[in-house]
Structure 1
């Protein structure tokens, strides 16, 4: 599915990621956790083509994609929900979703998992808000629209960058079920999160980042136990 191999990336002359490697398998949920400043969002930007990779490789389905522009990575089956969501606030929910659906249609019927009807089934509130400008929605509602828009691109890998940021606890809790349903459609999920509890419930295993490097990998057999161990949580997140 996805293999990130010793990539280095950053901003201008500043190097943020240093020899970062990770993998995501088919229909797998993988979390990347770490404190602020660990390089998690820079990793997301490198994966989706917003930050160039200076060295190393990103391979998706046995194809090198680190040299592709962002829109070509979408065509390769990668959907991304950035932390700031990047919705078109002045446009309606329907228009935001339609724009993604048109792009997703280019992948053809073989890669089609999601339709507007399936998005409405996943997020029932959207049906009543289809003709409302996105900027009038709450933060939690906007996050659901952003996830729905990414799914209409028909990805087989969904990258979620800090999806719980700024959301009420009730909405955060619902994200676990939403991610499970997405994975039930055969979509792998790479979850970038500071909320370790959410990550532990939504992902099978985790990578820990600190100062731009992957400093630990927690396998499925140890993941839940590591979350419950407060000393390990302090070591991983510095809190």
Structure 2
């Protein structure tokens, strides 16, 4: 596999407070990599730093190599143009706009770049999310929580990303919807897109991922093949809610 993302010694500070210790991780093309850990461990901070989406109060250091580009210090626009797409925890949809218009906004960068086929991902999105096709003329604000998550995923896919970064996609969703979302994440892998998945639902994340990292108090505590992590006694007891005998 080709190395798609190489993050080396990434650190994040909010003022004098260090939110992320020197952290290194990598993702190969077409791979699903998950980062699990407790609330406040720095998972979302790490994801936002990689995407170039830290708030103004945050500063970062370290290297972010994406494909053959060194994106260290680059603006979020350059990272998106290079093939990164972030689905934030809050989803950040345009509630008063139609579902289809929200999706088209996801391809705006491609439209700006003069790509005549900028909307060509629409059929891919509707194939993955038939409910979005059924509700394409509805306002996004009228959708259920699960449908809003589907729309956030679909909008990100409209940019034709090489790397899709997902921040807590199961947050606040009913168990049946969570199962559906993770089934879709598994299907996304078949399209060739690599996925960096930040998730508190460790069980579901490790089931769908190829490789995993455990982030605790701002630093990587464990890493390994996802199926191996799912059998690790510390992970089982701390994150899966079971005592392994």
Unaligned runs of 5+ in 1: none
The corresponding residue for 2:213 is 207
- Written as runs of structure 1 = structure 2, the 5 A alignment for 1:157-236 is 157-220=163-226, 222-226=228-232, 229=233, 231-235=234-238
Query: Could you tell me how far 1:107 is from its partner in structure 2?
Result: 6.6
Q: SS at 1:225's partner residue?
A: coil
Name the TM-score, length of structure 2 as normaliser. 0.88
Name the TM-score, length of structure 1 as normaliser. 0.90
The corresponding residue for 1:25 is 28
Give the whole-Å Cα distance in 2 for the aligned partners of 1:221 and 1:201: 7
In the alignment, is residue 5 of structure 1 matched against residue 8 of structure 2? yes
Q: SS at 2:107's partner residue?
A: helix
Whether the 8 Å CA contact 1:32–1:193 is kept in 2: the answer is yes
Unaligned runs of 5+ in 2: none
Give the whole-Å Cα distance in 2 for the aligned partners of 1:74 and 1:157: 10
Once the two structures are superposed, residues 48-95 of structure 1 have per-residue CA deviations (whole angstroms, 9 ceiling, x without a partner) of 111265321111012111211111111110111010011111211111
Query: Could you tell me how far 1:238 is from its partner in structure 2?
Result: 9.4
Give the whole-Å Cα distance in 2 for the aligned partners of 1:17 and 1:100: 29
Greater fraction of residues in helix = 1
The corresponding residue for 2:144 is 138
- Written as runs of structure 1 = structure 2, the 5 A alignment for 1:65-144 is 65-105=71-111, 115-144=121-150
Q: Structure 1 residues 30 and 113, CA, compared in 2 at 3 Å: closer, same or farther?
A: farther
Q: Over the residues paired in the alignment, what is the CA RMSD in angstroms? A: 2.3
Q: SS at 2:159's partner residue?
A: coil
The corresponding residue for 1:34 is 37
Farther off after superposition, 167-176 or 138-147: 167-176
